[in-house]
A and B are shown apart, each in its own frame.
Chain A
Amino acid sequence: MPIVVGEYASLTGKEAGFGQTSHHGVVLALEEINAAGGVLGRPLELAYEDNQTKLGESATVAKKLIARNKVVALIGEVSSGRSLEAAPIAQLAHIPMIAPAATNPKVTQTGNYIFRVCFIDPFQGTVMAKFARDDLKATKVAILSSVSNAYSLGLAKFFKETFVAAGGDIATEKNFAEGDKDFRAQLTAVKAAGVEAVFVPGYYTESALIVRQARELGLTVPFFGGDGWEDEQLLKIGGEALNGCYYSTHFSAENTDPVVAQFVAKYRTRWNGETPGAFSALGYDAVYVLADALRRAGTTDGARLRDALAATKAFPGVTGVTTIDPDRNASKAATIIALRDGKAKFYKTVAP
């Protein structure tokens, strides 16, 4: 009698990169756990659905997974916006939900059945604010954020708070919407403001274009962003324009820690040489955290599983050690990646 675990992700559509990489991490973890004997003597079975990066679909598929597939827990999503859609559904049905990489605080605030295994944006914003001040030595920056994205708005807000509190100056804030292709107007205004760096808390789809167009307009200052930049398409679209830029994320495959190296090797073997990214690693850890909680709870009952998840302490994973705090978030270190010579290179980690 398998234990059915649900997963919803953006496997197709605009942000398919996010969904595919996290899905690969989830599947790898599940296969490993089953090969080692499963959980509570039962194999884990994955029921997954694609939300096609469409608004509203996450709610629909979450409902379907809970009602039709009778999942005991839900894993999803990378995007805060889409996680926010499904969270109330999981909460109402008393099914624990673990978000691998959604960083907006509101996701876990939905209710006590919603968890995450990554850091949250107040931390990420602080990390990048400090990075801008200390590493980029910038006192005057601009923020270019997406208004149609919960993650972007939240991260911009937290960055601003910390940056201003540390004495920095936000010279100008400009907006764009998801799906926009032309940012020259906003960038021209940013350039006119004479800033030393530009913070772009968006997804890779727009961020790459933004930096390219900035370079075409003669704006050569460093651009930096958050974990939304993490995807191989970033460099494919942005290319050499991204040199001198940075972004924060949860994981780096170049980490020399043996745990990470082993994971990278296993992942590459399973997925045809693909190098795991932050979301693969987080998806992988999310499943392991769930399995651990199932073992401690001894049952698949929603309420007991929730309690077990909430009690997760110092669980070792490939993205670091996971301890679920009273707000159901994990306190993890951030990794900053530098973009040089058309490649992503590990720069440094910042502990909470």
Chain B
Amino acid sequence: MPRPLLALVAALAAAAGLSAFSDRFDPYYLDVAIGIGINIILAVSLNLVNGYTGQFSLGHAGFMSVGAYLSAAVTMLLGPRLLGPDGGAATAQNLLFLAALLAGGLSAALAGLLVGLPSLRLKGDYLAIVTLGFGEIIRVIFQNCEPLGGALGLNGIPAYTTAFWVLAFGAVTVFTVYCLVHSTYGQGFMATKDDEISAEAIGINTTRYKIVAFVVGAFFAGIAGGLYGHFKQTISPGGFDFSRSIEIVVMVILGGMGNMVGVIVAAILLTLLPEVLRPVAEYRMILYSFLLIVLMLARPQGLFTLRKKRA
């Protein structure tokens, strides 16, 4: 079996094993671990778009919200009908959750397609602003969508997210993105990032790569959104705004754009930091922003990239 696939199976087994013992752990630490897992999925999926393909997307939280809302819609609206009034057996609940997550991911992927298509001919700054705009438009649409709670959002979402689901999907995300990028096909992503005109000149369909990046990135963002919604048990349009997108972007920048391991480490660090700094939460955001500036000035390749500075 090829190595990545082996790693994936091992990770899934570890996730299953870990969750079997989950009641031994302090629930607070478990919560933090779940938060880390969700952020890893978000960061790695954004890394595909921003890091590997060089498309600066500032609307990732929008895809996350699509996944969160649609998966919650499935569990909250279809759930009672499919599971019965008593909530159903554990396997039935888990199956429903899986279906809900996939529904969320696929709708987010569709949103990714809709956002990616018009954005194709835009570069750098413009792309950033347009993706930001799309993120805001998605937010306003959900704010006006009464069946999904409107501006108040949804409360009391069933708490289906467990450590197993988060770790499992985390492993799947990393596996998918890794394999995608390190294949022969995947070289096209980095070619698109390096120099689009030259890539086009040698026959690489950069349009197709950009769309694939957006769609796959959005899919996993949607999965993360679904996991998030069933973890916090409450979502609202305001929670998926520009600042949320920025938080994910910071993880990718900190880890090094295009650096898978770096991004994962950054996601872990930046999830732990607010918890550790909870007593001094006011300084957290100041630190964040300062970090961004200093990073860009001193080490634009990220904290964890050991290769030499790219031109």
Contact = CB atoms under 8 A, between A and B. Distances in A.
Contacts of B152: 81, 84, 148-150, 153
Q: Which residue of B151, B152, B235 has the most chain A CB atoms within 10 A of its CB atom?
A: B152
Given A64-B28, A67-B28, A148-B143, A88 B150 contact: no
Contacts of B282: 12
Q: Which residue of B26, B27, B156, B232 has the most chain A CB atoms within 10 A of its CB atom?
A: B156
A63 B233 CA distance: 11
B233 A67 contact: no
B259 interface: no
Contacts of B281: 50, 52
A147 B152 CA distance: 8
Q: Which residue of B144, B151, B159, B282 has the most chain A CB atoms within 10 A of its CB atom?
A: B151
A88 B28 contact: no
Contacts of B239: 55-56
A12 B284 CA distance: 15
B131 interface: no
Interface in A44-96: 50, 52, 55-56, 59-60, 63-64, 67-68, 81, 84-85, 87-89, 92
Contacts of B143: 147-148, 177
A110 interface: yes
A148 B238 contact: yes
Q: How large is the interface on B (under 10, 10 to 19, 20 to 34, 35 or more residues)?
A: 20 to 34
Interface in B1-56: 26-28, 31
A88 B233 contact: yes
Contacts of B155: 84-85, 87-88, 110
A63 B156 contact: no
A52 B152 CA distance: 17
A214 to B, nearest CB: 23
B151 A149 contact: yes
B159 A92 contact: yes
Contacts of A67: 26-28, 31
Contacts of B27: 67
Interface string B220-239: 00000000000011111011
Interface string B248-292: 000000000000000000000000000000000110000000000
Interface residues of A, number: 25
Contacts of A81: 152
A177 B151 CA distance: 9
Contacts of A60: 232
B186 interface: no
Contacts of B300: none
A110 B151 CA distance: 19
Contact of B234 (A52, A59, A148): A59
A88 B31 contact: no
B151 A89 contact: no
A85 B144 CA distance: 19
Given A67-B27, A68-B28, A56 B234 contact: yes
Contact of A147 (B26, B151, B232, B236): B151
A68 B31 CA distance: 11
A346 B191 CA distance: 72
Contacts of B150: 147
B236 A56 contact: yes
A89 B233 contact: yes
Nearest to B228: A56
B153 interface: yes
A55 B238 contact: yes
B244 to A, nearest CB: 10
A52 B243 CA distance: 15
Contacts of B156: 87-88, 110
Interface in B81-134: none
A87 B143 CA distance: 22
B236 A55 contact: yes
B234 A88 contact: yes
Nearest to B144: A147
A89 to B, nearest CB: 7
B151 A56 contact: no
A349 to B, nearest CB: 31
Interface in B136-154: 143-144, 150-153
A89 B234 CA distance: 10
A67 B34 CA distance: 15
A289 B199 CA distance: 71
B226 to A, nearest CB: 16
A215 B223 CA distance: 49
Contacts of A88: 155-156, 233-234
Contacts of B234: 56, 59, 84-85, 88
Contacts of A64: 28
Interface in A287-332: none
Contacts of B31: 63, 67
A174 B151 CA distance: 15
Contacts of A87: 155-156
A55 B153 contact: yes
Contacts of B159: 92
11 contacts: A12-B282, A56-B232, A59-B234, A60-B232, A64-B28, A85-B155, A87-B155, A88-B234, A148-B143, A148-B151, A149-B152
Closest 4 CB pairs of A and B: A148-B151, A88-B156, A85-B234, A56-B239
Given A12-B282, A87-B155, 15 more contacts: A52-B281, A55-B236, A56-B232, A56-B235, A56-B239, A64-B28, A84-B152, A85-B234, A88-B233, A110-B156, A147-B151, A148-B238, A150-B152, A177-B143, A177-B151
Interface of B: 26-28, 31, 143-144, 150-153, 155-156, 159, 232-236, 238-239, 281-282
